[in-house]
Chain A
Amino acid sequence: MTFDDFLSAFFSLDILRQAWPILLDGLVQTVLLSLLVVPLGLLGGVILAVLSTIHHPLLRWPLMAWVDLFRALPPLVLLVFIYAGLPFAGLEVTAWQAVAIGFFLNTGAYYGEILRAGIESVPRGQMEAARSTGLSRGQAMGFVILPQAVRNVLPDLISNTLEVVKLTSIASVVALPELLFQARQAQSVTYNATPIMAAAVIYFILLWPVVRLLSRLENRQLAGRR
């Protein structure tokens, strides 16, 4: 196999020109998908984290079980279960709905753990001070605790968001026409790997800045710790 063969298998400009339009469509879907699931996950996470601050004995174990359940179950399994399984229970689920529910449950659990750690890192005196001025629990959470919590765990939040955006690629399995799905379609039609290579490059260009940013944030945190 010569170098030219390799190039034409992975980097064929001709195929690229053909596949480009649907790859672009896929990219748009990926972006839309990310814009949907990240806020959904954050919402789920905030709910879980705030619930974890209510130290009710009846709440503690079910909450921990819920979080561990959705962190133990691989996201793809959850997605397939919802998409392929629910119809048997009489519920018709579109790909988008399955993805929304699956991500809400899964990434909500991850964001929840991160935010919980963030809330615990805020000194207890902050809540006391806020409450002593008459702020309700909810107000104290929203105006005093959560802003500090988020600031404390920002690198972890960004890191997890990066993971969520990468995770959108599993939506291709339930035929949601995002980037990877379109790339696979193009590849199977042309028997050429260029579309997948192109998708990989697009993902890289999209996400590499975040990886660099994260690396820098992590290094700064580390330097501060020493």
Chain B
Amino acid sequence: MPESIIRAQGVHKHFGPLHVLKGVDLEVAERELVFIIGPSGSGKSTLLRCLNRLEEPSSGSIWVDGINMLDRRTDINKARQRIGMVFQSFNLYPHMTALGNVMLALRKVQKLPREQAERRAWAALERVHLSDRADHYPGQLSGGQQQRVAIARAIALEPRVMLFDEPTSALDPELVGGVLAAMRELREDGMTMVVVSHEMGFARAAADRVVFMADGMILEQGPPDAIFGNPQHERTRAFIRQINRH
């Protein structure tokens, strides 16, 4: 079996007295789309954010693309270029245009000369079909467009892995489709993706594996049909029942 591109073992996270992650093991193979679902407070977002060390795990190990993410000696900024992240609240830089947003890391982190950075940024915006809005400021874009620019900003660095933290939860329903389409295209291009989301339809259609988390632990994981159609664990069953009701 090929070496997993993401390997998290025994990850614990405490926020003061709160034990949010209780020994999580997660492996993700290259080109896999892993969907993480679960009730709020289950630790899904925290786990995701541990993968690029935006949160520091209290204990455990995390390896991404052969890099030990938790080692003090690791150049974390270099490591993060290989991991793209898309946030629930987009977090686009309001004082820069869409192009500027995408170009910043290309110029300052990868130290690309201006022309090359611009070309790469354009290409990234093309991939999310927003190159005609390159000179717009975030305030002039709809929520869905902002999120797609955020995706472009992440993929411009040519990461090996993309992390999505509830990418559509802050969007009006009619804008969700555009973002999901962009994510589907990424998948088809062979990107390894870990997605925390409530978009169950998307999970059913596109995910390779669905992971169910509750109370800081992974309770069950498997192909979407298995998890949605025939959940084994009682908690999973209750959760699936609840979301089917809506």
Contacts and interface: CB of A to CB of B under 8 A. Distances in A.
Q: Do chains A and B touch in the complex (CB under 8 A)?
A: yes
Interface of A: 123, 125-126, 128-136, 139, 143-144, 147-148, 151
A126 B105 contact: no
A125 B80 contact: no
Given A123-B91, A126-B91, A129-B91, 6 more contacts: A128-B87, A129-B87, A129-B92, A130-B93, A131-B77, A133-B104
A139 B87 contact: no
A133 B101 CA distance: 11
A153 to B, nearest CB: 14
A89 B79 CA distance: 52
Interface in B171-221: none
Given A133-B81, A134-B157, A135-B77, A128 B54 contact: yes
A148 B94 contact: yes
A151 B157 contact: no
Nearest to B55: A128
Chain B interface size, under 10 / 10 to 19 / 20 to 34 / 35 or more? 20 to 34
Interface of B: 52, 54, 77-81, 83-85, 87, 89, 91-95, 104-105, 108-110, 150, 153-154, 157
A interface majority secondary structure: helix
Given A134-B78, A134-B109, A147 B54 contact: no
A129 B80 CA distance: 11
B64 to A, nearest CB: 13
Contact of B85 (A126, A132, A135, A147): A132
A133 B78 contact: no
B186 to A, nearest CB: 16
